[in-house]
Structure 1
Amino acid sequence: MTFDYDLFVIGGGSGGVRAARVAAGLGAKVALAEDSRMGGTCVIRGCVPKKLMVFASEYAPMAEDAAAYGWDISLGAFHWPNFQRKLSAELDRLEGVYNGLLDKSGVTVFAQRATLSDPHSVRLADGTIKSAKHILIATGGRPVRPDVKGAEYGIVSDDIFNLPQLPKSILIVGGGYIACEFACILNGLGVEVTQYYRGAQILRGFDDEARGLICDQMRANGISIHMGTDVIGIEKTDTGLRVEATNGETQSFDQVFFATGRRPNTDGLGLDALGVELGRGGEIVVDHFSQTAVPSIYAIGDVTNRVNLTPVAIREAMAFVATVFEGKKTPVDHDLIPSAVFTQPEFGTVGLSEEEARAAGPIEVYATSFKPMQSSFAGRSDRVMMKLVVCAETRRVLGCHIVAPQAGEMIQLAGIAVKMGSTKEDFDRVCAVHPTMSEELVTLKTPARVA
């Protein structure tokens, strides 16, 4: 059978674009359809603009710190429209880079929605049918609002970058990394931030000691965090949004930001009719090679709800291309993935939390918490944490957790050692770089806990 394309990719995010251009580079005839902006969540409304907002939010304490170091400087007010214009220009530039990469690779791009027609065909929004030997779904996910009265008055993460002005006060609902990151960002930009989370502690699923320290520091920085609290309903008034909470309080805010979860973008793609299996959350069910129950259809990235991180989607794309177009059956490796949470303080983590490791067998925990030199000299009370979770039997480092400025940069490098299976003694053999915060990772000699 003759097809229009060897590969048709639905979705122009990081994973879809990588798969399309690498497959095209191997000689495949490739097309890609994207009904929004090229670059997807990460580039347009996720990682990139969020990190630029993180940078912007970190300047507030610099003048005071500089004074402690002998500098006579002052910092004016943050001007949201100026930052927003620069941000918009940068996102336009990055979108152009993505389009350029596809063009140079010879990928045919359709700037419209595509749905599945049959196992080898897609239907474009203009009614055109295109056939392909292989179809790759990389449509990502989207933020969802909770089912509460007045939820339509709140915003989600997609909206935050397009606000005409920053609110004076905001309620952030949720306790995951998106909620906590934006709580820190907006607090740093001068917004009065309140955070509701229905659980007992923020950042569920991460190391308990690390998330406890982050919560303490967020509160010390002025964020009002309420655990065991959720929204019952929202009422729009002349002065803002009146929020009724499960803790019995009623309070008004200029804005409410829901960071209460995301859902895979599978609605209306025509998957059910073709026999593509979906999970309870609407995610596409795939095997270790990202293949669905329909042999010609594959899926990668957040739409599969495996590990929802941009670098993971890219690695899944590369494994897909190796499997399908290079004849090298390549399963996706989701083990020991380093990640960072861009709160203030920042959090870098790889491997098992102390709690997960303890449940798996005997462990030793090497940990320290201290005031870093730079902020301590400036008179701030900030604390950092370094932790290694070690298997008592094999001596392998099962997890590394860092709460500190630039923790994301540190965990990328520590992740190499953990992925290689390094032991505690391997860490000990490395000479310390002094004076640095990260030297603590190779100078921890006595276990803080044995379990």
Structure 2
Amino acid sequence: MAKAYERKHRIAILGGGPGGYEAALAGAQLGAEVTLIERAGVGGSAVLTDVVPSKSLIATAGAAQAVRDSGKLGVQAFVPGSDGKPVRPEIAVNLAAVNKRLLAMAGAQSTDMREKLESAGVRIVHGSGRLDGSNRVLVSTEDGVSGTDFDSVEVDTVVVAVGASPRELDTAKPDGERILTWKQLYNLQSIPEHLIVVGSGVTGAEFANAYRTLGAEVTLVSSRDQVLPGEDPDAAAVIEREFKKIGMNVMSKSRADAVEVVDGGVRVQLADGRVVEGSHCLMAVGSIPNTQGLGLEEAGIDLTDSGHIRVNKVARTTVPSIYAVGDCTDFFPLASVASMQGRTAIMHALGDFVRPIDLRNVASNVFTYPEIATVGWNERSLEDATDMAKAIEHTIPLHTNPRAKMIGFTDGFVKLFAWKASGTVIGGVIVAHRASELIFPLALAVEHRLTVDQVASAFTVYPSLTGAITDAARAMHLR
């Protein structure tokens, strides 16, 4: 007897950013029929206008800073002046060339991702999509078209991965020339004479640091007492100190009310009546989810007041056949989390083994100079949970670490958190050069519930920055 035909599970994914991309790959790997709908290009804004180009720009700034700091190591780049004496040359940054490279690299990354999806058998549609109930997606290949002009696609599972866009204020409308969002910075042809950055969260701090290092005068307008209010206070204090050391003007407790373009520059009006004038202004005041006009509420999906999609730990919405991942959700807005959500959503939808995402185990990084990397519990979360008395912590300053002394980068620390009763590692903070690479051992410790003694028993290279991790763990030994 002939075997009955089994129809493939049909999946439609709205958005090709990190979450949508991983969902598409996972679906194809598990034998589903996958359609990915993306307006801008595979990789989404994360690859084309956000994470890839911004972190590449920051890497360029880091290279410039490394040249400036080389004198501390005895490396001297001198040319003779008119009197024959050595004159230290200035570092020249060709921003137009830098931005051209960043965007070309982002485009190449997008192409690589598209080719990988196509080779896996994913159908890619360049256009817009919206829901028509819980098992139908309407697709248009023309941006902005709605209603009856959409083609209908019947599906079993939908993954919404539409991301978010820079938040815009009515009193500070970006024009792409003087008042900018972080997506518009790559149009600049030269280093801004004086860049005013409004917002001292991760995005504002990273770009303020990068542009100051590249040579711009920078004023950072922060409404909080300290920059990076969401980070470990000790870590934020190091970064703010570094900002001031490199000549950045940090204006704490200063809220911007309005930004206007004036002759040859911008004027920022503060709530207390003060005015700051510069050549350009970067608005880094958060983001909003791209969830409007997608038929989400009509399909029965629950949204927050801010428009984010409510999801559980396997990325499922309030509608069983619809999942959502990435910055459009009320989860953790990180590319790495979006990717994990994408795979988790598909594996759950197709009945594969899935492990719910635990945000306590997520490692994150702020790409300032030095970087801040964190994972697990921290002082703020322990205090909020009234568990501070149950925990122990230990900090190793980098100025005591031999490798840090050798490379001339001693502004930072390694901080560990563990439960007092068991010694289980529950979190950590690293402030250091390339902390994003150093946090992985702590992420493993948190994920697999290692004790401080188990971390301390692992061999580290001498000398190394990772040695500060085992030093901290040894200091927390419990008898």
Q: TM-score, normalised by structure 2?
A: 0.87
- Are positions 1:110 and 2:125 aligned together? yes
CA separation of 1:381 and 1:419: change in aligned 2, threshold 3 A = closer
CA separation of 1:402 and 1:88: change in aligned 2, threshold 3 A = same
Task: Tell me which residue corresponds to 1:438.
Answer: 466
Partner of 1:110: helix, strand, or coil?
strand
Partner of 2:320: helix, strand, or coil?
coil
CA separation of 1:80 and 1:119: change in aligned 2, threshold 3 A = same
Residue type at the aligned position of 2:323: Y
CA separation of 1:425 and 1:131: change in aligned 2, threshold 3 A = same
Indicate conservation of the 8 Å contact 1:8/1:134, yes or no.
yes
Task: Tell me which residue corresponds to 1:22.
Answer: 26
CA positional deviation for 1:299: 1.0
Q: 127, 149, 171: which one pairs with 2:196?
A: 171
Task: Tell me which residue corresponds to 2:102.
Answer: 87
CA positional deviation for 1:10: 0.6
Indicate conservation of the 8 Å contact 2:179/2:261, yes or no.
no
- Correspondences of 1:153-164 after superposition (within 5 Å): 154-164=179-189
- Are positions 1:360 and 2:364 aligned together? no
- Measured against aligned partners, the alpha-carbon deviations of 1:12-38 in whole angstroms (never above 9, x if no partner) come to 111111111221222211111111122
CA positional deviation for 1:421: 1.3
Distance of 2:189 and 2:204 partners within structure 1: 21
Distance of 2:53 and 2:11 partners within structure 1: 30
CA positional deviation for 1:155: 1.3
- Measured against aligned partners, the alpha-carbon deviations of 1:278-330 in whole angstroms (never above 9, x if no partner) come to 11110111233322222222111111130111111111111112112244354
Distance of 1:250 and 1:56 partners within structure 2: 32
Partner of 1:194: helix, strand, or coil?
strand
Q: 383, 391, 394: which one pairs with 2:422?
A: 394
Partner of 1:402: helix, strand, or coil?
strand
Residue type at the aligned position of 1:120: N
Indicate conservation of the 8 Å contact 1:7/1:29, yes or no.
yes
- Are positions 1:384 and 2:388 aligned together? no
Task: Tell me which residue corresponds to 1:199.
Answer: 224
Task: Tell me which residue corresponds to 2:80.
Answer: none
Task: Tell me which residue corresponds to 2:85.
Answer: none
Residue type at the aligned position of 2:48: I
Q: 145, 154, 157: which one pairs with 1:131?
A: 154
Partner of 1:272: helix, strand, or coil?
coil
Task: Tell me which residue corresponds to 2:66.
Answer: 62
CA positional deviation for 1:89: 1.8
CA separation of 1:422 and 1:265: change in aligned 2, threshold 3 A = same
Partner of 1:61: helix, strand, or coil?
helix
- Are positions 1:277 and 2:302 aligned together? yes
- Are positions 1:141 and 2:164 aligned together? yes
Distance of 2:280 and 2:69 partners within structure 1: 31
CA positional deviation for 1:381: 8.2
CA positional deviation for 1:413: 2.4
- Are positions 1:243 and 2:258 aligned together? no
CA positional deviation for 1:3: 8.9
Distance of 1:142 and 1:130 partners within structure 2: 27
Task: Tell me which residue corresponds to 2:442.
Answer: 414
CA positional deviation for 1:441: 1.8
Identical-pair percentage: 26
Q: 210, 213, 225: which one pairs with 2:235?
A: 210
CA separation of 1:265 and 1:289: change in aligned 2, threshold 3 A = same
Indicate conservation of the 8 Å contact 2:364/2:375, yes or no.
yes
Output the aligned Cα RMSD.
2.3
- Measured against aligned partners, the alpha-carbon deviations of 1:208-265 in whole angstroms (never above 9, x if no partner) come to 1111111111111221111111112222211211111124321211111111111111
Task: Tell me which residue corresponds to 2:93.
Answer: 78
Q: Which has the larger displacement, 257-266 or 349-358?
A: 349-358
Partner of 1:186: helix, strand, or coil?
helix
Indicate conservation of the 8 Å contact 1:14/1:40, yes or no.
yes
Task: Tell me which residue corresponds to 2:83.
Answer: none
CA positional deviation for 1:64: 4.1
Distance of 2:154 and 2:184 partners within structure 1: 35
Partner of 1:165: helix, strand, or coil?
coil
CA separation of 1:381 and 1:105: change in aligned 2, threshold 3 A = closer
Residue type at the aligned position of 2:158: I
Distance of 1:361 and 1:110 partners within structure 2: 51
- Are positions 1:100 and 2:127 aligned together? no
CA separation of 1:99 and 1:370: change in aligned 2, threshold 3 A = closer
Residue type at the aligned position of 1:440: A
Residue type at the aligned position of 1:108: R
Q: How many residues align?
A: 445
Indicate conservation of the 8 Å contact 2:409/2:433, yes or no.
no
Q: Which has the larger displacement, 380-389 or 169-178?
A: 380-389
Distance of 1:277 and 1:62 partners within structure 2: 48
Partner of 1:23: helix, strand, or coil?
helix
Indicate conservation of the 8 Å contact 2:172/2:179, yes or no.
no
Distance of 2:431 and 2:360 partners within structure 1: 22
Distance of 1:331 and 1:156 partners within structure 2: 34
- Correspondences of 1:205-354 after superposition (within 5 Å): 205-328=230-353, 330-354=355-379
Partner of 2:101: helix, strand, or coil?
helix
Distance of 2:138 and 2:284 partners within structure 1: 33
CA positional deviation for 1:361: 3.6
CA separation of 1:355 and 1:284: change in aligned 2, threshold 3 A = closer
Q: Give 5+ residue unaligned stretches, structure 1.
A: none
Partner of 2:393: helix, strand, or coil?
strand
CA separation of 1:59 and 1:277: change in aligned 2, threshold 3 A = same
